Structure 1
Amino acid sequence: MSRKSLPALSRRMFLVLSGIAAAALALPHGVLAAEPEYPAVSAVAFDGDSLLAGGANLVRSDDGGQSWTELSTPGPIQALATHSERPGRVLAGLASGGVALSEDGGRTWEIRSDGLPEGEVDAVAVASGQPDMVYATVRDDGLWKSEDAGQSWSFAMDRPWLEETERDLLTLASVDLETGMGGIWIYAGTEAGLTRVPDCFCRWQDVQPGNAMDALVAGDAPPSEAPLPAGEAVRGLASAPSAPDTLYSALPSGIWTSRDGGVVWLHLMDGSASAVAVHPSDPMQVVAVLDGSLQISRDGGATWAALAVE
């Protein structure tokens, strides 16, 4: 892991640290503040045929989830991203702030956060056709991009304005479907639902039939026959690289899928879902975190089996 000098103390961080210090002083003598608790699994990803599950720790399975190996971790992990053209490369969004990158399947890590602001990184994604183009979302900030696999970062887009307020981006997916504006889409989940933006970063849009130009002409999105539940948080998103029209999402109501790029959704599985990933070459093989446990489906979500992470 690379060594970095400590950043200058920002006003926001000064206030945060002051609040922590005040809370610690308020504790009874001899009582220590508890360490923050992180979920056992908060993020999942496929690295080729292998599975990665991250949270408080990071584990890897090379045999479909039958056995697991604990790996080193740069810190509690909020999000994971990989790309089929870069086997072994894993991108991690950290709960402590920043992004880390591994080139050996998660065994060793390097911090890649130069230019990123302070704050928890809730989501990371790799551009479908450009494996060195990566995206990250920073809590209370917005969407950031890097064209050199995280060596340097620049601001890409403000948070979307939904239901009269800016909404944090909880999850990201690069979706290899044409926007009509010379690029492809970035889909994002927020606490208020699903949104997307062309990778030219013109404006956030509702998901509707047609391309971005059609949406600009049509104005308000037409009602969908079967959208995701209105106002429900979209915690996880995955686009199948081999079938980009196929999407999976993780919501408090369970796992959902779309076969038309997110216009019409089908409910697959009940439960509280928090993360989802799809195999790079098999759009029917899906892994999800459901009610805190890891589940796998090999038939597009029709049936599921629990994976014991040990």
Structure 2
Amino acid sequence: MSTHPPHEKSRRHVLSGGLAAVVATLILPHPSLAITKGTSIRALGYDGDALAAASRGALWRVSSSNDIQHLPLERSITKIASHPETPGTLFAAVDPVGLIRSRDGGRTWADASAGLPATRVTALTQAALEPDMLYAALADDGLWRSQDAGESWEFVMDRPYLNGAEREVLTLVSVGNPTGMGGIWLYAGTDAGLTRVPDCFCRWQDVTAGDAMDALAAGKTPPPAKPLPEGQPVRHLALSPKASERLYAGLESGLWTSTDAGVNWTRAAAGKIDALAVDPVDPQHLAAVRNSILCVSRDGGMTFEPLNILQGDQT
């Protein structure tokens, strides 16, 4: 597979080189009774029914019965991606640059960045309908795709152009809804709001009712009645494949929910969201770092409670 776009992208010539410096790391499990006070969770994801919570230099696995494992890491994880059809397989972006893959639930890791430019991964997600397809957004660059579980990569799209400037993609989610142009949607959060692109990668566009062809035929579609608030970066997006119409967005103003695939939004709960993940089986069950506290909701974000495995609040 080629790791270059089919037509010239000048930015490729500036951001060259690979991320092969990430070395496979052996992780030995150390069972722990609790995530202790002072642990700052940076990223969340689900591996089957287990919650994966990443802090600096560690990954915590929390089972459905609240048993917990502490897995030390040599690199600090900033993003986690997983697919419900491949339990045990996790992908993670790490500081300062790099992408790694685990086949055993986070106990051991190997490099998954061959062919990517040596720059920071700002967002990461797996395709909703393709367990081996992965998308990564890179700082000052654009969107890359792997169709073989991180063995090779190809450039597919520049960064979205919103409000007069190119914007970094801060979060990605693959939405298993038809676009009307073939394929499904990829939604992106930026510091200028929400946008999306069909996975044919023709162009970034606003989130509107109906499919992409409807929007093109209409010329200009009316704005949603209840959009996300303007002026707030959209840093976290999440959904369960069991309910692709139900999206969650984490903003500084709180947790926002949409039941129509991101057209209209309602704030479910106040409090700054610093990480977010949705149970792949239960769309109403989510985990979040809310006001710096790792907590869970069983009612779609209307109410939250701290995980009872915690020893005190997080900072």
Q: With the length of structure 1 as denominator, give the TM-score of the two structures.
A: 0.85
Structure 2 counterpart of 1:300: 300
Structure 1 counterpart of 2:241: 241
Instruction: Measure the CA separation in 2 of the matches of 1:231 and 1:249.
Output: 14
Does 2:250 align with 1:262?
Answer: no
SS at match of 2:53: strand
State percent identity of aligned pairs. 49
Structure 2 counterpart of 1:196: 196
Instruction: Measure the CA separation in 2 of the matches of 1:221 and 1:102.
Output: 43
Structure 2 counterpart of 1:19: none
State the Cα RMSD in Å: 1.8
Any conservation in 2 of the 1:237–1:275 contact (CA below 8 Å)?
A: no
Mapping 1:107-126, distance limit 5 Å: 107-126=107-126
Structure 2 counterpart of 1:99: 99
Equivalent position amino acid for 1:156 in 2: V
Instruction: Measure the CA separation in 1 of the matches of 2:119 and 2:59.
Output: 21
SS at match of 2:156: strand
Shift of 1:140: 1.3
Any conservation in 2 of the 1:73–1:109 contact (CA below 8 Å)?
A: no
Mapping 1:250-289, distance limit 5 Å: 250-289=250-289
Instruction: Measure the CA separation in 2 of the matches of 1:63 and 1:261.
Output: 28
Structure 2 counterpart of 1:184: 184
Structure 1 counterpart of 2:207: 207
Instruction: Measure the CA separation in 2 of the matches of 1:293 and 1:249.
Output: 17
Equivalent position amino acid for 2:291 in 1: D
Shift of 1:122: 1.5
Shift of 1:91: 0.7
Any conservation in 2 of the 1:44–1:80 contact (CA below 8 Å)?
A: yes
Cα pair distance change 1:242/1:163, threshold 3 Å: same
Cα pair distance change 1:134/1:229, threshold 3 Å: same
Shift of 1:74: 5.0
Mapping 1:135-146, distance limit 5 Å: 135-146=135-146
Misfit runs of 4+, over 3 Å: 10-13
Structure 2 runs not aligned, ≥5 long: 1-12, 17-38
Equivalent position amino acid for 2:213 in 1: M
Structure 1 counterpart of 2:63: 62
Any conservation in 2 of the 1:74–1:100 contact (CA below 8 Å)?
A: no
Structure 1 counterpart of 2:170: 170
Shift of 1:295: 1.5
Paired residues in the alignment total 275
Q: Deviations over 1:88-113 (max 9, x none)?
A: 00010112212111011111101111
Shift of 1:12: 7.5
Shift of 1:139: 1.1
SS at match of 2:132: strand
Structure 2 counterpart of 1:226: 226
Structure 2 counterpart of 1:77: 77
SS at match of 1:109: strand
Structure having greater relative contact order (Cα 8 Å, sep ≥ 6): 2
Instruction: Measure the CA separation in 2 of the matches of 1:82 and 1:60.
Output: 14
Instruction: Measure the CA separation in 2 of the matches of 1:74 and 1:47.
Output: 21
Any conservation in 2 of the 1:68–1:309 contact (CA below 8 Å)?
A: no
Any conservation in 2 of the 1:72–1:108 contact (CA below 8 Å)?
A: no
Equivalent position amino acid for 1:303 in 2: T
Structure 2 counterpart of 1:152: 152
Instruction: Measure the CA separation in 2 of the matches of 1:252 and 1:44.
Output: 17
Does 2:122 align with 1:86?
Answer: no
Any conservation in 2 of the 1:74–1:109 contact (CA below 8 Å)?
A: no
Instruction: Measure the CA separation in 1 of the matches of 2:182 and 2:151.
Output: 26
Shift of 1:55: 3.2
Structure 1 runs not aligned, ≥5 long: 1-9, 14-38
Instruction: Measure the CA separation in 1 of the matches of 2:169 and 2:292.
Output: 21
Instruction: Measure the CA separation in 2 of the matches of 1:220 and 1:159.
Output: 22
Cα pair distance change 1:187/1:12, threshold 3 Å: closer
Any conservation in 1 of the 2:15–2:119 contact (CA below 8 Å)?
A: no
SS at match of 2:181: coil
Any conservation in 2 of the 1:94–1:122 contact (CA below 8 Å)?
A: no
Equivalent position amino acid for 2:50 in 1: S
Shift of 1:58: 1.4
Shift of 1:284: 0.6
Equivalent position amino acid for 1:202 in 2: C
Moved more, 162-171 or 52-61: 52-61
Any conservation in 1 of the 2:246–2:259 contact (CA below 8 Å)?
A: yes
Any conservation in 2 of the 1:234–1:251 contact (CA below 8 Å)?
A: yes
